Amino acid sequence: KILPQSTSPGTHHPQCSGLLAKQYGNICSLWGGPYHIIILSGYQAVKQGLIDHSEAFADRPVTPFVLASTQKRGIVFSNGHTWEQQRRFGVVTMRKLGLGNKGMESQIEEEAQRLVEFFAETKGQPFDPFLPIMRSVCSVICAIAFGHHFSNNDQDFLELVKAISIALKFGSSIFYVLYEGFPHIMKHLPGPHQTALSALETIVSFARKEIILHKENRNFHEPQDFIDFYLFQMEKRKDDPNSTYNEDNLAQCIADLFIAGTDTTSASLTSAMLLMANDLDIQDKVHQEMNEVFGSLPSISYKERKKLPYTNAVIHEIIRKKYAFLFGLPRQCVQDVYLNGFLIPKGAVIFPDLRSVLLDPEHWEAPEDFNPNHFLDKAGNFVEKDAFLPFGAGARVCLGEFLAKTEFFNFFTKLLRTFKLEPPGGVEKLSEKSVIGVSVHPASYKICALPRIRTP
């Protein structure tokens, strides 16, 4: 079979791939410059691609800008032997760091408390929650990678947050498209692409400084963070000619953690604050459930989420309805493969439209509505859904999925136990329009955080 073709020049709007799917089917192709692009839409097509043919779609496309910024290092944009080693190490190390256990979760809880204190300092006055949320999420990544937090006033930390923001904004700009199309010209010209490359180097340099400090104070016997474990792995494999464990890959792995882990979680939490301020009934139900189950206990751990079916459903519905990516990161086909009868040629770039999965009408009763009942049965029990795939699936499923879920749960429950979130006075409802970039954020808004009186 020949894939249905689209001559549409753009797929930059969240609804665009949906329109393509309606006209050309859930597996369709188009050409973007020299790239043969295959778009998978809806749960069934994405499942067939990412899960049923996971190994065939295991690579990432290495475009000119990706090559210039990562040199095929790290986890997110590496392939082959390098990716296999770095990915395996990342998975194992995340487990060793105790994500979900009290050790690591206590650091997340500490950062959530710092965010609560910032909200309290606003004294009920309108404020924009995005930057403080982003700083807190970034600080959690610092704790994982480096073993310690930075002060929100630390200049190097502020430069890091700024660099992450610059790098991510560039991915949705016309200069990014120009660089990918004309790299041999653009690399010699000034412009935002040079600023973005400089910002990405700032993130890597930040990591390299911490690597130097860790090397000066080696802790092989009791590794405490990602760098400790990686340096130990380098030492173990130093005589292995096939080892890809080196400081360049380590620095890029840390940069990957910051780029992939900061913006998406920040976007989701910012959307959560907006949705709760706009729906006081749901917000009050969440607070009531937490209060009835945990009373005056100071914190709720992620492993206790099953005791809060409604709250858990609300969190999942926020992530579903306000999916933080436009599509999902692209894959590249490593071999010819047939998908639902269509030939997907080796080298094709695969865009799994995860947004379409989260809005698939065959799996969600009211996909366009914000409705926590999507994750509840008639008895009010929480229900897992196969079509809940915001973190992807298969060989390239998000390495930080468990971390992101733990962060979201801790930040969300801590804030909603402490405050009632409302629109500013005179504003009936906050706008839920999105700003489209590499990730999808709510448009800038302000809320008021009013202290709640916790009943025993």
pLDDT tens for the chain, 456 residues long, are 445 544 333 333 445 556 677 777 899 988 887 889 999 999 999 999 999 999 999 999 999 999 999 999 999 999 999 999 999 999 999 888 875 455 678 889 999 999 999 999 999 999 999 999 999 999 999 999 999 988 888 999 999 999 999 998 898 889 998 999 999 999 999 999 999 999 999 999 999 999 999 999 887 778 889 999 999 999 999 999 999 999 999 999 999 999 988 989 999 999 999 999 999 999 999 999 999 999 888 889 999 999 999 999 999 999 999 999 877 889 999 999 999 888 999 999 999 999 999 999 999 999 999 999 999 999 999 999 999 999 999 999 999 999 999 999 999 999 999 999 999 999 999 999 988 877 888 999 999 999 997 655
Place of tokens 């706009």: 278
Write out the chain in H/E/C secondary structure: CCCCECCCCCCCCCCHHHHHHHHHCCEEEEEECCEEEEEEEHHHHHHHHHHHCCHHHCECCCCHHHHHHHCCCCCCCCCHHHHHHHHHHHHHHHHHCCCCCHHHHHHHHHHHHHHHHHHHHCCCCCECCHHHHHHHHHHHHHHHHHCCCCCCCCHHHHHHHHHHHHHHHHCCCHHHHHHHHCHHHHCCCCCHHHHHHHHHHHHHHHHHHHHHHHHHCCCCCCCCCHHHHHHHHHHHCCCCCCCCCCHHHHHHHHHHHHHHHHHHHHHHHHHHHHHHHHCHHHHHHHHHHHHHHHCCCCCCCHHHHHHCHHHHHHHHHHHHHCCCECCCCCEECCCCEEECCEEECCCCEEEEEHHHHHCCCCCCCCCCCCCHHHHECCCCCECCCCCCCCCCCHHHCCCCHHHHHHHHHHHHHHHHHHEEEECCCCCCCCCCCEEECCEEEECCCCEEEEECCCCC
In this predicted structure, what is the pLDDT of residue 61?
Answer: 94
Contact 199, 215 (CB under 8 A): no
In this predicted structure, what is the pLDDT of residue 351?
Answer: 93
In the chain the domains, ranked by start, together with CATH numbers, are: 14-451 (1.10.630.10)
416-438: buried (b, 16+ CB within 10 Å) or exposed (e) per residue?
bbbbbbbbeeebeebeeebeebb
In this predicted structure, what is the pLDDT of residue 326?
Answer: 78
Nearest to 208, CA basis, from 246, 173, 259? 246
Chain-centre distance for alpha carbon 82: 22
CA neighbours closer than 13 Å in the CB half-sphere of residue 358: 27
Please tell me the distance from the alpha carbon of residue 40 to that of residue 30, in angstroms, as a whole number: 12
Nearest to 75, CA basis, from 208, 204, 201, 254? 254
Nearest to 38, CA basis, from 432, 413, 333, 436? 333
109, two tokens = 């809880």
In this predicted structure, what is the pLDDT of residue 4?
Answer: 52
Those residues with Cβ within 8 angstroms of residue 259's Cβ, 6 or more apart along the chain or in another chain: 76, 164, 167, 168, 203
> Can you say whether the dihedral through the CA atoms of 323, 327, 333, 334 is positive or negative?
negative
131, two tokens = 């930057």
Please tell me the distance from the alpha carbon of residue 176 to that of residue 186, in angstroms, as a whole number: 10
Please tell me the distance from the alpha carbon of residue 258 to that of residue 252, in angstroms, as a whole number: 10
> Can you say whether the dihedral through the CA atoms of 158, 162, 163, 165 is positive or negative?
positive
In this predicted structure, what is the pLDDT of residue 102?
Answer: 56
Contact 80, 350 (CB under 8 A): no
- Length of the chain (residues): 456
Please tell me the distance from the alpha carbon of residue 47 to that of residue 57, in angstroms, as a whole number: 12
Please tell me the distance from the alpha carbon of residue 237 to that of residue 234, in angstroms, as a whole number: 5
Q: Is 398 annotated as a binding residue?
A: yes
Place of tokens 């904004």: 169
53, two tokens = 């043919």
Contact 61, 366 (CB under 8 A): no
Q: Pairing between strand 440-442 and 448-451?
A: unpaired
In this predicted structure, what is the pLDDT of residue 12?
Answer: 38
Within 10 Å of residue 189's Cβ, how many Cβ atoms?
Answer: 12
Nearest to 146, CA basis, from 183, 22, 154? 154
In this predicted structure, what is the pLDDT of residue 104?
Answer: 79
In this predicted structure, what is the pLDDT of residue 437?
Answer: 74
83, two tokens = 């990716």
In this predicted structure, what is the pLDDT of residue 62?
Answer: 93
